[in-house]
Structure 1
Amino acid sequence: MASITLKNLVKQYGDGYPAVNNVSIDIADGEFIILVGPSGCGKSTLLRMIVGLEDITSGDLLINGERVNEKAPRDRNLAMVFQNYALYPHLTVFENIAFPLRLGKGKHTEDEIKRLVTDAARTLELTDHLERKPGNLSGGQRQRVAMGRAIVRHADAFLFDEPLSNLDAKLRGQMRSEISQMQRRLGVTSVYVTHDQTEAMTLGDRVAVLKKGVLQQIASPRELYEQPVNLFVAGFIGSPSMNFLPATLEGGVLKTAIGNIGISVDKATAAEGKRVVLVGVRPEYFEDASMVDDAKRPHGSTFTAELTHTEWLGNEQYGYINFDPDPEVRSLLDSLARDMDADELRPQIVVTLDAASRIRGGRPAELWLDTRRLHLFDPETGENLTRDAEAGAALTEEANTARAEEIANARGREGANA
C-alpha cells in the first residue's frame, strides 16, 4: 500500500498548452480518490502521469515519500485498469489474471501463481469462469478480470481510467458496488478517473474536480454537494444540477424573475456591494407550499410561480419553471455550459416535488424554498459568496472517520472468514 503525493504537477505539450496546470493533491495510504471533470479537463492525463505513461513537465510525484518522476512505469509498482479492459483474447481468464505474475520470469512458482489467481478469482466471483476466454464473458465479467490482474500484483495502488464507461447503465451500477466493496476489503490506495459525477459521488472518499487542467476543489462528495467553492463545482456536481437564478438584493430580499425571496442577514451581508448575484438552488430545496409543516415554514420563503410542466416519477416528481434572463446573465450561463461540456444551460428552474403533490403545469402554484440552504455566487468571478468553509471541512472529516471505520470492519470480517 502507498501514499501518493502530487506537488505542483504540470503537463505541457509542444504547443505550450498546459493539460495539467499546477495540481497538488495528497493521497493517503488506503484512500479512494476520484478525479472528475468534463472532457479535456486533464483527469486522464493526470492519471497517466502518476503511472508513468506521461512525462511530467514540472513538479514532483512522490510514492511513499520517494520522488519517482524519472522512474519507468514498471518500477512504480502501480496497477492500472483500463477502459477497454486490455485483455488477451487467446488466453483463458486464469492466464489473463496470471499474466503479470509470469512476467516475473521465475519470481513465482506455479503453486504460488495458482494460489494468487484463485484468491483473486474468489474475491471477484470469477471462480467458475477461470477456463473461459474473454470473448465469452459479459462486459462486467471482463472488467473483473482486468481488476483481478491488478489484484494479483499486490501493487501499491490501483489506477482506474474510466473503467465502467463501456457498460450499460444497470451493469455500471452493479460494478460501482463491486469496486467499492473490493476497495474496502483490500484497503488499497486507489485513484479513479471518470466523467460521470454519479460514479464520483458514490465511490470516492474524496473527489477532485478539475476544469481545464486546474484543480477547482477536492473534498468529500457531501462537502462538494453542500459547500461548493464556485459556480463550476456547484453546477457540475449533482443530478439534476443546481439551478442558477439571477437576482438583485434589496433590503434582505432577493428580487428574481420568479418572485421575491427573503434571505438571512448573514447571506445578505455576504452579497453586499454586488449589483447582481446568481442564486444557487438545488431542486430538492423547493417544496409544494401546501405540504410544508408549520414548524418548517419560518425557515424559508413562499412565492407563486407558474410551472410549464411536471414529470411524475413514482417516488417524486419534477416541475419546471422558465424565466427570461437579461443578455449579460444569458452569456454567463452559456459560458458555464461550455465549461461543463453541456450544450446549454437553459433559463429554467427545476424543482423536486413530493409524489403526492397536486401541482400541475400551466397554472400558478405556491412553492416554498428553504432559504437556509441556498448559495449566492459572484457572476463575475464564480466565487461562492456564502460558502461555509468550516462546515464543509467538518463534512469531509466526518466522511473520513466513517470510511476508516468501514475499512476496519471490512478487514475484521475478512480476517474472521479466513
Structure 2
Amino acid sequence: MATIECKNLVKKYDDGFPAINDVSIDIADGEFIILVGPSGCGKSTLLRMIVGLEDITSGDLLIDGKRVNEVAPRDRNLSMVFQNYALYPHLTVFENIAFPLRLNKNKAEAGNIDEKVRRAADMLDLNEHLDRKPGNLSGGQRQRVAMGRAIVREADAFLFDEPLSNLDAKLRGQMRTQIAQLQRTLGTTSVYVTHDQTEAMTLGDRVAVLKRGVLQQIASPRELYEQPINLFVAGFIGSPEMNFLPAHAENGQLRTPIGDLEVPEGHYKAAEGKKIVLLGVRPEHFEDAKLVDDGIRDHGTVFTADITHTEWLGNEQYGYIRYDADQEVKGTLDELAKDLDGDEFNPQVVVALDSTSRIRGGQQAEVWMDTRKLHVFDPETGDNLTRDAEAGAKLTEEAAKERADEIKRAQENAEQR
C-alpha cells in the first residue's frame, strides 16, 4: 500500500491546451479516491499521469514520499484495470491472472504463483473458470479476471479506468459490490475514474470533481451532496439533478417563478442586496403538501404549481413543473448545462413525491418545499453563498472514520474465513 501525492500537476499538450491544470490531491494509504466529471474533464488523463502513461508538464507526483515524475510505469509498482479488460485471448484465465508473475520469475517461484492465482480467484469467484479462455466468459467475468491480475501483483495501489462502463446495468451493480468488498478486504490504495453517479457515490471514501482540467472540490460523497462548493458541483452530483431557480430577495421572501418562498434568515441575507441569485434545491426536498405532517410543515413553504406530468416508479414518483426562463441568468444556466454534457438548460423543477400521492399531470397541486435545504448561489461566480464549510468538513471526517472501521471489520472477517 502507498500514499499518492499530486502537487500542482499540469498536463499541457503540444497546442498548449491544459488537460490538467494545477491539480493537487493527497491520497492517504488505503484510501479509495474517485475521479469524476463530464466527458473531457481530464479525469482519465490524471489517472494516466499517476500510472506513468502520460508525461507531467509541471508539478510533482510522489508515491510514498518519493518523486516519480520520470520513473517508468513498470517501476512505479501500480496496477491498472482498464475499461476494455486487456486480456490475452489465447491464454486461460489462470495464465491471464498469472501473467504479471511470470514476468517476474525471480520474485515468484512456480508454487507461489499457483498459490497467489488461486487465492485471487477465490476472492473473485473465478475458481470454476481457471481453465477457460476469455472469449468464453461474460463481460463481468472478464473484468474479474482483469482485477485478479491486478491483485496478484501485490501492487502499492490499484488504478481503475472506467472498468464497468462496458457492462449492462445489472452486471455493473454486481461488480460494484465486488470491487467495494475487495478494496475493503485488501485495504489497498485505489484511484477510480468514472462518469457514473452511483459508482462515485457508493465506492469512494472521497470524490474529486473535475471540470475542464481543474479540481472543483474533493470531499466525501455526503459532503459533496449536502455542501457543494459551487454551481457545477451541485449540478453534477445527484440524480435527478439539483433544481436551479432564479430568485430575488424582497420583503423578507425570495421571489421565484414558482412562488414566493419563506426562507431561513441566513438564506435571505445571502441573497439580499444582489440583483438576482440562483436557488438550488434537490427533488427529494419537495413533497405533496397533503402528506406533510404539521410538525414538519412549518420548516418549509407550501406553493401552488401546475404539474405538467408525473412519473410513477413504484416506490416513489416524480412530478414536473415548468416555469418561464429568466433572461438574466439564462446564459449562466445554459453554460452550466453544456458543462454537464447537456445542450441547454431546461426551465423546469423536478419534485419527488411519495408513491401514495394522488398528484397527477395536467392539474394544479399544493407542493411543500423544505426551505432549510436550499442553497443560494451567486450566478456570476457560481459560488455557494450558503455553504457551511465546517459542517461539510465534519461529514468528511465522519466518513473517513466510518470507512476505517469498515475496512478493519472486513479484514477481520476475511481472516476468520
Q: Which moved more, 1:323-332 or 1:93-102?
A: 323-332
2:62 maps to: 62
Q: Which moved more, 1:54-63 or 1:97-106?
A: 97-106
Contact 2:301 2:371 in 1 (8 A): yes
Matched, 1:239 2:239: yes
Query: How far is 1:274 from its partner?
Result: 1.1
Q: Look up the equivalent residue of 1:260 and give its one-letter code.
A: D
Contact 1:80 1:150 in 2 (8 A): yes
SS of the residue 2:372 aligns to: coil
Report percent identity of matched pairs: 74
Q: Look up the equivalent residue of 1:271 and give its one-letter code.
A: A
1:386 maps to: 386
Q: Look up the equivalent residue of 1:284 and give its one-letter code.
A: E
1:399 maps to: 399
Matched, 1:250 2:250: yes
Matched, 1:366 2:359: no
Question: Structure 1 CA distance, aligned partners of 2:158 and 2:241?
Answer: 30
Question: Structure 2 CA distance, aligned partners of 1:342 and 1:186?
Answer: 38
Query: How far is 1:328 from its partner?
Result: 2.8
SS of the residue 2:371 aligns to: coil
1:120 maps to: 120
- 1:111-131 superposed Cα distances (whole Å, 9 cap, x missing partner): 010000000000100000000
Contact 2:36 2:43 in 1 (8 A): yes
Query: How far is 1:332 from its partner?
Result: 1.6
- 1:343-380 superposed Cα distances (whole Å, 9 cap, x missing partner): 23310100000010111111211011000001010011
- 1:208-246 superposed Cα distances (whole Å, 9 cap, x missing partner): 000000000000000000000000000000000000010
1:157 maps to: 157
Contact 2:35 2:191 in 1 (8 A): yes
Question: Structure 2 CA distance, aligned partners of 1:107 and 1:228?
Answer: 47
- 1:16-68 superposed Cα distances (whole Å, 9 cap, x missing partner): 01000000000000000000000100000000000000000000000011111
Matched, 1:311 2:311: yes
Query: How far is 1:414 from its partner?
Result: 1.2
Q: Which moved more, 1:379-388 or 1:342-351?
A: 342-351
Question: Structure 2 CA distance, aligned partners of 1:68 and 1:37?
Answer: 26
Contact 2:248 2:271 in 1 (8 A): no
Question: Structure 2 CA distance, aligned partners of 1:105 and 1:409?
Answer: 34
SS of the residue 1:295 aligns to: helix
TM-score, length of structure 2 as denominator length: 0.99
SS of the residue 2:333 aligns to: helix
Query: How far is 1:273 from its partner?
Result: 2.0
- Equivalences for 1:338-357 in 2 at 5 Å? 338-357=338-357
Question: Structure 1 CA distance, aligned partners of 2:134 and 2:204?
Answer: 29
Query: How far is 1:400 from its partner?
Result: 0.6
SS of the residue 2:331 aligns to: helix
Query: How far is 1:327 from its partner?
Result: 2.2
- Equivalences for 1:291-330 in 2 at 5 Å? 291-330=291-330
Question: Structure 2 CA distance, aligned partners of 1:377 and 1:107?
Answer: 56
Structure 2: 5+ residue stretches without partners: none
1:181 maps to: 181
2:170 maps to: 170
1:413 maps to: 413
Query: How far is 1:179 from its partner?
Result: 0.4
- 1:154-185 superposed Cα distances (whole Å, 9 cap, x missing partner): 00000000000000011111111110000000
Q: Which moved more, 1:143-152 or 1:332-341?
A: 332-341
Question: Structure 2 CA distance, aligned partners of 1:274 and 1:117?
Answer: 63
SS of the residue 2:267 aligns to: helix
Structure 1: 5+ residue stretches without partners: none
Query: How far is 1:105 from its partner?
Result: 3.5
SS of the residue 2:46 aligns to: helix
Contact 2:249 2:273 in 1 (8 A): no
SS of the residue 2:403 aligns to: helix
Contact 2:62 2:68 in 1 (8 A): yes
- Equivalences for 1:198-237 in 2 at 5 Å? 198-237=198-237
Query: How far is 1:266 from its partner?
Result: 1.1
Question: Structure 2 CA distance, aligned partners of 1:404 and 1:251?
Answer: 49
Query: How far is 1:251 from its partner?
Result: 2.5
Matched, 1:132 2:132: yes
Matched, 1:94 2:94: yes
Contact 1:252 1:264 in 2 (8 A): no
Q: Look up the equivalent residue of 2:204 and give its one-letter code.
A: G
2:44 maps to: 44
SS of the residue 1:307 aligns to: strand
1:24 maps to: 24
Question: Structure 1 CA distance, aligned partners of 2:389 and 2:203?
Answer: 23
SS of the residue 1:60 aligns to: strand
TM-score, length of structure 1 as denominator length: 0.99
Contact 1:96 1:145 in 2 (8 A): yes
2:283 maps to: 283
Query: How far is 1:285 from its partner?
Result: 0.4
Query: How far is 1:9 from its partner?
Result: 0.3
